Amino acid sequence: MWYAISFVLAVAVALLAWYLLQLKRAAREIADAFAERVADASGTAVGVSSRDPDLCRLTASLNRELRELQQVRLRCERSETDLNRAVANLSHDLRTPLTAISGYLTLLQETDDAAEREQYIRVLSERTEVMKQLTEELLQYAKLVSPETAGEAVPTAVDTVLTESIAGAYPLLSERGIVPEVNLPKERVVRTANRAELSRMFGNLLTNAVRYSDGDLTVTLSENGDVSFANKASGLDAVLAEQLFDRFFTVETGGRGMGLGLSIVRSLAERMGGSAEARYEDGRLVVTVHLPDRHA
């Protein structure tokens, strides 16, 4: 009897030792495979030879982390590409007016003709204004996207700020011969927001609309907090419309600017708990900002 018990115990110990060895081997497989996947960034899932439920759950968890890591890597790579392109664009945008300023300064120094001097001074003023706008846009973007610079959010009448912004943009609209059609709800639309940031957002949206408009503009505020700016835009298409919110993206026909206006709009909208999007339908560009009622 004791011999049989000893034999059973010996078999059980042997099986347990074998099982532990299998678990140890599977753990090594998982560790080696995980380290390899992290190093090569291939995105291939980690496999395991063991059918142990805990090891299978561990493997599944590691694969989820690998997928998230792969997404982070892709975002970082895209950000680095965007940054490199942005630096190149920024250098070009600043160098162009600087080159013109340098050239016209030389011409100004070399001429005694009053008419020519007046012409050169006018060009220098225009190029200086371009540089001022570019640097101001860049500084505003840096400040507005920083959480530390967020203004105090208080209940604000969106319709009031919108009408004031449209009135403030009257000279810009008139220059392009645009008479905006404005549609407002009967009830006041109030959202928790910083008034200055909301005004900046609407100002950028109006500037963008004027930049791409073929001569019309329809501004609509709905009761649910959606604000849309719609206009005919023959210089755009659906692909370009999707890129308008990208940092430093500019369309060649769009005129001056670093391509930060709509990126600022999206950042401010998200800061307010909302969103911003652009679409191109039937030759019209529609930019919509959604400002949700966070207390609803």
Render 200-259 in DSSP notation, one character per residue.
Answer: HHHHHHHHHHHHH-SS--EEEE-TTSEEEEEEE-TT--HHHHHHTTSTT---GGG-SS-S
**Structural domain boundaries, residue 41:** 1-109
Within a domain: residue 50? Answer: yes
Exposure letters 209-244 (e unless 16+ CB within 10 A, then b): bbbbbeebbbbbbeeebbbbbbbbbeebeeebbeeb
Within a domain: residue 125? Answer: no
Residues 78 and 179 reside in one and the same domain: no
All residues at 6 or more sequence positions from 165 whose CB lies less than 8 Å from its CB, including other chains: 199, 202, 203, 206
Residues 97 and 154 reside in one and the same domain: no
Residue whose structure tokens are 């059609």: 181
pLDDT tens per residue, the chain (296 residues)?
A: 666 677 667 767 677 777 677 777 777 777 777 777 777 766 677 777 777 777 778 778 877 887 888 888 887 777 677 667 666 666 767 777 788 888 888 888 888 888 888 888 888 888 888 777 777 767 766 666 565 555 678 899 999 999 999 999 888 888 889 999 999 998 999 998 889 889 988 998 998 888 888 889 999 999 998 999 999 988 888 888 777 777 666 655 444 454 567 888 888 888 888 999 989 988 899 999 999 886 55
Within a domain: residue 46? Answer: yes
Within a domain: residue 140? Answer: no
Within a domain: residue 128? Answer: no
Q: What is the pLDDT of residue 163?
A: 93
Residues 37 and 88 reside in one and the same domain: yes
Residue whose structure tokens are 């998982």: 30
Within a domain: residue 122? Answer: no
- pTM equals 0.57
Within a domain: residue 225? Answer: yes
Within a domain: residue 167? Answer: yes
Residues 89 and 201 reside in one and the same domain: no
What total number of domains does the chain contain? 2
Condensed to tens digits (0 to 9), the pLDDT of residues 39-94 reads 776 667 777 777 777 777 877 887 788 788 888 888 777 767 766 766 666 676 77
